[in-house]
Amino acid sequence: MPGYELWSNLEKEHVNQVLETGILMRYGFDGPRKGIWKSKELEAAVCSTFGCDYAQLTSSGTAALTTAMSALGIGYGDEIITPSFTFVASFEAILSIGAVPVLVDVDNTLTLDPAAVRKAITPKTKAVMPVHMCGSMADMDALQSICKEHHLFLLEDACQSIGGTYKGKSLGTIGDAGTFSFDFVKTMTCGEGGVVMTNNKEVYVKSDGYTDHGHDHLGVDRGADLHPFIGYNFRISELHAAVGLAQIQRLPSFLATQRKNHQLLKSILATVPEISFRRIPDPSGDSCSFVNWFLPTEEQARAVVQDMKAQGILPGNFYWYDNNWHYIRKWDHLKQVLTLNSLSPELKERVAAATNADLSASDKIMSRCISTSVSLLWTEEQIQEKGAKMVAAIRKVLG
Ligand SMILES: Cc1ncc(COP(=O)(O)O)c(C=O)c1O
């Protein structure tokens, strides 16, 4: 997925402009910064590139999720429905605001199953948070209509799907709010960073204050700013924003390469009739950061993984079912609610109940799934070679 693979002079130029002024902070220091406002510029570029009215940069994608939830007014005891296949950050953010992550099944889109969402709604549900995993999207029409019907917020964790779209709209800009991560391995990176995107001015103004200790940012003197509410420090630095500004300018070429490489590798894998691919609700909107494929059975998927490992071609291929970061099966720390800070016994009990539910439908999907990350550096020849080795391993297992 990563823009870091194509580091260029443009990133260095933007960073050097900041280093020359020495003003690494995004707010204040109006004189010495000599007109260099990288964070503000990147926020404007996010709005114009992805098509949203407002963007608030943050120090990470996790901070962006926490900020968006707080700005939407979600908090203690509220439930947020989110998928069993995601990154740990999704539930970390939910727990950080005192809410309950209700993890439900994914379907063959590898994102929220709308039927599972419906079943999980309770009077305490405040939001549905689809996670557009591995570059592609949830069924947004179905989720939007559920949210409308039940008066729930729709918060998109689009941290992994920069550049993806659904029916012409950028992922992350469709719900009440959406987030990207700009950490080191995302399609465009700031090194570390994230963003909250929204078309709702109130959500934006709250996000703006929340990420900077509650400052109202209305005056020119930071010391005289008022604090209409309590916030935190989730600010991005000018150095990180400078990297992001270069990367967002280069994003169209990253995405074009990603799509080209994805298409070729997928077409090679598709020569094996037993392989099926992830269902993509809007195929033209796939950002193509991963080729996600299924074997008919768990045993076959495990055997293919073993064979690729033995051949030294496993790197870049992910069997999420056994992975500690992305699938609930291995999240004992969540299921046992092992927090450092103490939670109220009632909340702890509810989190344990919500994260120990039956997710056998997800198991059936995830145990057969292998995802191959798409590199921007591959040559056509390398893709042919990689694809041929993968196909050989798969055919060997399938007999
Ligand atoms: C789905 C998802 N959500 C949230 C995050 C958190 O982003 P960050 O690493 O910038 O905190 C990530 C990061 O990988 C992610 O994949």
Mean pLDDT per 10-residue section of the chain, whose length is 399 residues:
88 98 96 97 98 98 98 98 98 98 98 98 98 98 98 98 98 98 97 98 98 94 93 98 98 97 98 98 97 98 96 94 94 96 95 96 98 97 97 96
Report residue 212 as tokens: 């900077």
Other CB atoms within 10 Å distance of the CB of residue 363: 17
User: Mutate which of 160, 211, 236, 331 to test ligand 1's pocket (most atoms within 8 Å of Cβ)?
Assistant: 160
Query: Across the strands, what pairs with 128?
Result: 81, 154
Q: Is 90 in the pocket of ligand 1 (CB under 6 A)?
A: yes
Position 2 scores a pLDDT of 78
Atom of ligand 1 nearest to the CA of 131: 1
Nearest to 176 by CA among 211, 140, 208, 212: 140
Atom of ligand 1 nearest to the CA of 86: 1
Position 1 scores a pLDDT of 63
CA of 127 to the centre of ligand 1 (A): 19
User: Mutate which of 159, 195, 247 to test ligand 1's pocket (most atoms within 8 Å of Cβ)?
Assistant: 159
CA distance 394 to 276: 13
Report residue 276 as tokens: 């099926």
Which positions are catalytic? 186
Report residue 186 as tokens: 């995302």
Other CB atoms within 10 Å distance of the CB of residue 360: 8
Position 220 scores a pLDDT of 83
CA of 181 to the centre of ligand 1 (A): 5
CA of 61 to the centre of ligand 1 (A): 5
Please check whether residue 150 is in contact with residue 164, taking contact to mean a CB–CB distance below 8 angstroms.
no
Q: Is 87 in the pocket of ligand 1 (CB under 6 A)?
A: yes
* 270 Cβ neighbours under 8 A, 6+ residues apart: 277
Position 219 scores a pLDDT of 86
Report residue 34 as tokens: 């000599």
Q: Is 59 in the pocket of ligand 1 (CB under 6 A)?
A: no
Q: Is 156 in the pocket of ligand 1 (CB under 6 A)?
A: no
Q: Is 183 in the pocket of ligand 1 (CB under 6 A)?
A: yes
CA distance 50 to 231: 27
User: Mutate which of 96, 129, 183 to test ligand 1's pocket (most atoms within 8 Å of Cβ)?
Assistant: 183
Q: Is 60 in the pocket of ligand 1 (CB under 6 A)?
A: yes
Q: Is 62 in the pocket of ligand 1 (CB under 6 A)?
A: yes
